Amino acid sequence: MDRPGRGGGPTGATGPGGRPRRCARGAGPWDGFPRSTRRAILEWVGAARREQTRQTRIAETVAKERENLRANQWRQPGGR
């Protein structure tokens, strides 16, 4: 059953075989995080009042993602 608005981005953005398009970089650690974790990180970044703080949080998020860790999480899964 096709459910608009779920999956690969804007409605109608489909790739071969009618499947939702994935981002060009492929699935990475970010895609493996639970939806609630991704949302919490995005809200944390968006809650920054100054642009400099927002950029620092984005850089921290990217650096932690490369290590397969979650930014702004005091308790990492698996005891990391």
Q: Does some domain include residue 45?
A: yes
Domain span at residue 57?
A: 27-71
pLDDT over 90 for what percent of the chain?
36
**Local confidence band at 55 (pLDDT 50, 70, 90 cut-offs):** very high
Phi and psi (nearest 5°) for 14? -120, 155
Sequence-distant contacts of 40-46: CB under 8 A, at least 24 apart = 40/72, 40/73, 41/70, 41/71, 41/72, 44/71, 44/72
In a domain, 32, yes or no: yes
Please count the structural domains in the chain. Answer: 1
Say if residue 19's pLDDT is above 70. Answer: no
Q: Does 42 reside within a domain?
A: yes
User: Does residue 79 form part of some domain?
Assistant: no
Asked whether residue 35 is domain-assigned, the answer is yes
Comparing CA positions, the residue from 36, 62, 35, 58 lying closest to residue 48 is 58
Is 51 among the domain residues?
A: yes
Q: What is the mean pLDDT of residues 46-71?
A: 93
Residue 19, domain member (yes or no): no
Q: How far apart are CA 31 and CA 29, in angstroms?
A: 5
Residue 34 domain-assigned (yes or no): yes
